[in-house]
Structure 1
Amino acid sequence: MALDTGKPAPGWHIAVTDFEGEAQLSGDRVTVPKPANPRVPNSHVAARRSDDGALTLQFSNSWIAQLRWQGGKPLDLSPYLAHGTVEFDLNVVDLAHGGMKFKLGCGQDCERKVPFLFAGRELAGKGKQHISLALTCFWREGDDFSAVNVPFTLEGTGSGEISIANLRFNKAGKATTACPDYRTQSVTPERLQESWAVEWWLPRHEQKLAEIQAHRAAGRRVDLVFLGDSITQGWENEGKDAWGQHFAKYNAVALGFGGDRTENLLWRLQHGELDQMAPKAIVVMIGTNNTGDRLEDPALTVAGIKKNLDEIRQRQPQATVLLLALFPRGEKPDDLTRRHNAKINALLPALADGKQVVFLDIGHALMNADGTLSKDILPDWLHLSPAGYEIWARSLEAPLSPLLAP
């Protein structure tokens, strides 16, 4: 079954999208128009169709740029699932400052993706390459492939230029391109694969190793470590004052990296971030990006959290680990990601023994009485304000004080 890149079948069209706009590629080329008051004024997304039917997506300074097949009668891809592939010819012209992903619909309000940043950059400048991905790369237990209304999306982020041609589904294809196994993704260590992070993520890792070494060289004992994602990284920004008042006296180290999921934290731990120190207490909160990025099965996210706890216990057996429930996100209690995180939190107490690993849920302290969130505490319904960090710090005083006593 071909999804013609030259001239889509009746009813189908190719949408070209930016974070803030959309256009239809009906002729040879199109540029996504900007809204009157753009949030990303310097972004640019355009697409063109070549005489040979190849489609080229050009994007710069873009949060999300897409070529998306949509609008036609939903396709039944279920007969293709067992042994099928999605195949196409890919030409990565430039991806030095960008990333890319492939996406496939999987039923109503369902979408699955395969990240391709590292692999895509390796193909840059090498001309046309044949890509063949197993359809199971895009499948999760319970997905419905019988009525797929967005059968394929090529997505870019940052800046780059990518061409695609001869897009088709093969019922009995041979997959030649690797993809993550969703069942083990959360426990398989990996660097963060996002274009907006790739330029600073490894340098930050090296900076944190140097920070730890500086404490050691100066004879300062690091008694407290925080491990996590952007919420933990925020101790260095919005939470700076609270950090200075409550934790600096312990020579505390905040090992938070924006965007990190469980597998990214695991990579950092296995590459030395907990070495060369012997903290008394380690505060861990990780997993909300497993939800936000891929709405992962809660059990799989908890498996990733457990894998990190095992790594921490192996490297720092003397430390007491304070395992935090994921903070509430989304303005209202019925928010999809809030409800999803609640399922993860319900499973976390089983990972704690109350001695070496202690579970703590302070979510209620960050919410209004009716369960809604306040912009004064979580301005974007996810990250904390300075007031939010003060609440977090005070909530840790009682459980941390006896652990950090001289």
Structure 2
Amino acid sequence: MNRLLLALLAALPLTTQAMTLDDGKPATGWHIAVTDFEGEARLTGDRATVPKPAQPHVPNSRVAAQRGDDGAVTLQFSNSWIAQARWQGGKPLDLRGYLPHGTVEFDLNVIDLAKGGMKFKLGCGKDCERKIPYLFAGRLAVGKGRQRMSFALKCFWRDGDDFSAVDVPFTLEGTGSGEIQIAKLRINKHGKATTVCPDYRKQSVTPQRLQESWAVDWWLPRHEAKLAEIRAHRDAGRRVDLVFLGDSITQGWENEGKTAWATHFAQYNAVALGFGGDRTENLLWRLQHGEIDGMAPKAIVMMIGTNNTGERLEDPALTVAGIQANLAEIRKRQPQATVLLLALFPRGEKPDDLTRRHNARINALLPALADGRQVVFLDIGSALTNADGTLSKDILPDFLHLSPRGYDLWARSLEASLIPLLAP
């Protein structure tokens, strides 16, 4: 019976076993859109360059793609926030039958990525895309020529995703500066994955350095600098009573928030351990590599998770699991400290913003992590929000990061909770 079944499968038309999206040219009905965040061009001939708007935000950026004689597509980008070669425009694909054994396969040639990063993406329904970061592995592949890549299709799938009408079946994305070539793109119904991808169910709790091209040059040096800052306090005999943990919003205490910091927290020899772009797993890596060691703070203020939302619109329960893992790491290393666990700040101009609503779902789960003694939950979102739920640019200029006034509001909103914890 097994032999008969195999023979029948082998006799089926190729289209039932695989979809060739690009083998020298896009499949019928599809085209390649070459994009950055300010423009788009269609690759119809040998080359396409994304046009610049009249007043570009990044004047020196450049994004282009070309089709080689052998059909390979090369994405070239420099000083770019985001550059994409995106297969789109065809009849949406029903990929439900391609799970759980399907694969996405292509030839990859990383020509240059010294100052750039890369990701692979696949659409998963309305307002939904899934991505695999490939910066570290991509840089290791530079100069090694074409390599056949095979990712399990389930690498791009999350529980609840709609694969019945995938309108963007593949995107090659670059950031910064680089040159990446891709060829022979196809989706197999049955294939063998040869390339490892993150398990989305464990990503938020698996310690990892931040894998973004715009951060890779400064992220580890900043970590080392923060370790040195803590050593300097210790060597000088200064007691660090207060620590802030988080992402770019916490890092902003050193910039837009420096006046409020000096007024409210400098007297406690406070240390701000905020790193732009960090998700829960990145903070967890930093904690496990000594960032809160060598001191004994009375209070630790932690806010982390909005980049889990912004980067991958992660299931709120998974983000909360990452927050809980960080709390456990803090308790292990600083058992005497009271943790002030902050609700994620509102983001997006209006209350119906997708990421705002997603963060609200995370915030609804956070009180269960607090016991009111060792971990105290605090939500100051209302202090940053207008009465109608909108956000003001004088408090959150980009509807995510705080202005100097915003940092002053944040500092004042913490006083009632922090001052009793920091008393002699």
TM-score range, shorter chain: over 0.9
Alignment match, 1:204: 222
Structure 1 runs (4+) greater than 2 angstroms displaced: none
Equivalences for residues 157-196 of structure 1 within 5 A:
157-196=175-214
- How many angstroms does 1:10 deviate by? 2.4
Which range is displaced more, 107-116 or 149-158? 107-116
SS in 2 for 1:198: coil
- How many angstroms does 1:4 deviate by? 1.5
Give, in whole Å, the separation in 2 of the partners of 1:7 and 1:134: 23
Say if 1:162 and 1:380 are closer, same or farther in 2 by CA, change over 3 A: same
- Equivalent residue in structure 2 for 1:91, among 86, 109, 131: 109
Alignment match, 1:300: 318
SS in 2 for 1:399: helix
Structure 1, unaligned runs of 5 or more: none
SS in 2 for 1:260: coil
Contact residue 5 and residue 55 of structure 1 kept, 8 A: no
Does 2:33 align with 1:2?
no
Which range is displaced more, 139-148 or 87-96? 139-148
Does 2:262 align with 1:244?
yes
SS in 2 for 1:125: coil
Q: After superposition, what is the alpha-carbon deviation per residue over 1:326-385, rounded to whole angstroms, capped at 9, x for unaligned?
A: 011111111111111111001000000000000001111111111111111111111111
- Equivalent residue in structure 1 for 2:131, among 104, 109, 113: 113
Structure 2, unaligned runs of 5 or more: 1-18
Alignment match, 2:12: none
Which range is displaced more, 256-265 or 7-16? 7-16
Letter in 1 for 2:122: L
- How many angstroms does 1:5 deviate by? 4.3
Give, in whole Å, the separation in 2 of the partners of 1:134 and 1:112: 13
- Equivalent residue in structure 2 for 1:350, among 360, 368, 379: 368
Contact residue 16 and residue 68 of structure 1 kept, 8 A: yes
- Equivalent residue in structure 1 for 2:405, among 384, 387, 398: 387
Does 2:277 align with 1:259?
yes
- How many angstroms does 1:109 deviate by? 2.4
Contact residue 231 and residue 258 of structure 1 kept, 8 A: yes
Alignment match, 1:320: 338
Does 2:399 align with 1:399?
no
Alignment match, 1:273: 291
Does 2:99 align with 1:81?
yes
Give, in whole Å, the separation in 2 of the partners of 1:7 and 1:349: 53
Give, in whole Å, the separation in 1 of the partners of 2:367 and 2:121: 34
Alignment match, 2:57: 39
Does 2:203 align with 1:215?
no
SS in 2 for 1:137: helix
SS in 2 for 1:222: coil
Letter in 1 for 2:380: I
Alignment match, 1:339: 357
Q: After superposition, what is the alpha-carbon deviation per residue over 1:225-273, rounded to whole angstroms, capped at 9, x for unaligned?
A: 0000000000000000000000000000000000000000000000000
SS in 2 for 1:340: helix
Give, in whole Å, the separation in 2 of the partners of 1:10 and 1:276: 62
Equivalences for residues 43-54 of structure 1 within 5 A:
43-54=61-72
Give, in whole Å, the separation in 1 of the partners of 2:313 and 2:125: 15
SS in 2 for 1:199: coil
Which range is displaced more, 364-373 or 206-215? 364-373
SS in 1 for 2:228: helix
Contact residue 67 and residue 153 of structure 1 kept, 8 A: yes
Does 2:100 align with 1:55?
no
- How many angstroms does 1:212 deviate by? 0.3
Letter in 1 for 2:362: I
